[in-house]
Chains A and B, each alone.
Chain A
Amino acid sequence: MKDSAINDDRIQRALDGLLSPEEHDALKADVIRDAELRAAYVDQMWLHSTLRAERETLVELLGEAPVAEDKVVRRWPVAIWAAAAAACLTLAASVWTFGKGTIFRHPVATLVQADNCKWAGSDLPTAVNSKLGIGKLALVEGIATLKFQSGAMVTMEAPTTLEILTAMHCRLIEGTLTAEVPEPAHGFTIDTPDIKVVDLGTKFGVTASSTGNSQVRVFEGEVEIGGLPDGKMKRLTEGKGLHVGSATPALGQEPTRGQQVQEAGGWTAIPTSFGRGKDACARRGDRGAPLGSQALIIVKHSDIEAGRDNERRAVISFDVSQVATAKVLEAQIVLDPEPSGFGFATLVPDESRFAVYGLTDEALDAWDEKEVRWASLPGCSDKGPNPNQVRKLAEFWIPRGGSGGPLTVRSEALAEFIHQDTDGLVSFLIVRETGETDSNGLAHGFSSKEHPTARPPTLRLK
């Protein structure tokens, strides 16, 4: 807490007139920039000015013997300003009018937009155009935009919990948000469990989990990062990012082998965790590869040059050896979207479109989950799905802000594809077809069979 001690010292010196004009200006600049310092400044100023304003009563109050315990204290004696006011009666009036007094209930922000939103455990109103004071907002589904009175716009992407502290300060408890901060609100600050992000005139995004592991990405302008383990402040400029905390996303657990389940209505559910089933994704450039044992399979497409290396595709295989595939009438693939922690939904279109391709070349079913890389991802070349090896079976859409639960992909072509299986294993390539408006757009995640809680990709047949 060395920093705040130094700051306190400056505030205290300012109160006693011990700062040079230069130092005073520097303090002012810091008060503008740093919300915490600003709060301390106002606190100290309040004490100082109250003591000054009530000087007449100080002697009386302090003339009494010290009290050890709290007592009921009478109110401050009234009005030393009566004399001044009376004197004013004789002053000539000048021409000056004032508007009506405005409401003074300290709203700090307004909820200006809410798309597909569901809220939980929020102690603030969640209707659009609600005025928000200090408090917590928990967004379970959807995308919501807040406009702070300072002018800062903050967009929350579910699942996200945010605490509003002041018009210049909020705390990201967990989740993802993007912020766009106009000039009067420079200095707008976002705390995460492990860092502090101070805007210096920007558009930027922040993600954090409740245990930290924060990521910051600057789309435009500049931000300053505080609270880093080395105690230093760090500046991030346009296009730069920073990741604090564990370097790799948590690995999934070794999955328990799943069961093929008979469901009501004649459906049979086959998860990727059953039999020879498998799921994986690969990323162009193979950073962090192989990704076959991650808790998520992640899919992303970008037409932007800077986003090229973030392209990700997924492949999933189901063991259908225990099913009479020739008798299948209907088929569905169920995917459970999970936040990937990569990218920002604000930067992808209102709806993202995905495609599911079936691997028609059965030799490709033998792909190795432990070893799969970009080049060995079955059924596609670097450019995309290879029409000689795959067939497009279905498309699905995910609205920005999430679909709010598992997605079911179904088509006649999918059932027909299952019919044609001969080796007891069916494989699908999943790609995103829509791009992004910025290379930091959202990467869509789906739980894999390694996910500790969510359900793995599942093939349902009837």
Chain B
Amino acid sequence: MTEAPTPAEPEGTIPSPAARLALYQRAGGFVTPLITTIFAFFIGGLVVLVVTGKNPISTYKAIFNGTGLNWLFPWISHDDRITAAFNLQATLLLTTTLILTGLAVAFAFRCGLFNIGGQGQYAIGSIVAVWVGSSFSGLAGIPHILLAIVLGSLAGAALAGIAGFLKATVGAHEVITTIMLNWILFWSAGYIFGLEGPLQDKTQASVPVSSNIAPDTHLHVFWGNPVLQGLHVGFFIALGALVAYWLLLNRTTLGYEVKAVGFNPEAARYAGIGVGRSIFLAMAISGLFAGLAGAVDVLGWQFHVGVDDIQGSSVGFIGIAVALLGRNSAPGIFFSALLFGALVNGTSTRNLDPEIFKPELAQNLTLMIQGLVLLFVGTDVLVLYLWRGRQRLMFWRKTEPPT
């Protein structure tokens, strides 16, 4: 523990977040995130035990049954399977959103930027999508859907682009600007969908929600009942976004430049990369993913947006934990989005039996688990320690020292 991981660096250079992450990505495959998760759940369980005196195992079991993941077990009864299928669709709907909001954090992170504004970018995406979906009645089906998705994503990109632009030009810290933009969207939604607001549904004057989007803009539901929020094709859009993310980072010049800036902005500048441009584009593309998430949710299952939908949502924040736990890699983000999707759905008011554990408590438990995950993921010394431990283990297993 006393020796430094690299030969003594000159004073004043510290690893950028992206460089730290690179180390973290090298260290120990999927084992460390798994340990992180188990550890976070363990501490969450302790909190349950100490604060409420409930049995944490039965609590987690109840949450698990609410996720619908027991659908995968062959031994459950027919009736249970129907409920489980219904729950699993809800879990995967959330996974769809979280993949996209996770990508919104991950892409910026690769450029050394911390985009906490996923929430606001998601909100503006859904606001624009609901506006497009409920107007432009001349457009039919697919073009209408495409217009809503493209404009929603671009709105997210524009919002994040503001933070990127300010970072690139005057050096305003993106954490503060994106948080402030979140709050601006939070209150703007109160106006936009509030009474007398521009997008409020005039046919029900006292309810703060938008009009419904046109029925031909609904995304196709391929699993489950379309009326009861079955799984829509947006799930594949999210999977496609994962592929696009991977291609963009690993197969394009832009991705290379973004990563270079993330590792070391000075070196990147010296190599002739436009650092400001990369920062702006990285933020804008991040916002694109979050805006897409908002649009897909509106077209897929929400169909209208209310003040409470925007002000009560936290998918953008969960995206932070998704990205960091998934180590900003495409497969990692998929699995951690599934984990958090399951956790959020399993603790929802609809799925968790209040006799066993109050859903309001469980939702706060989810927040704590997110916090714990971030705490451990952010701590590369712990990871390094585990990694070194594994190396030592491998050293003992093999008789000859590793080269």
Bound together: no
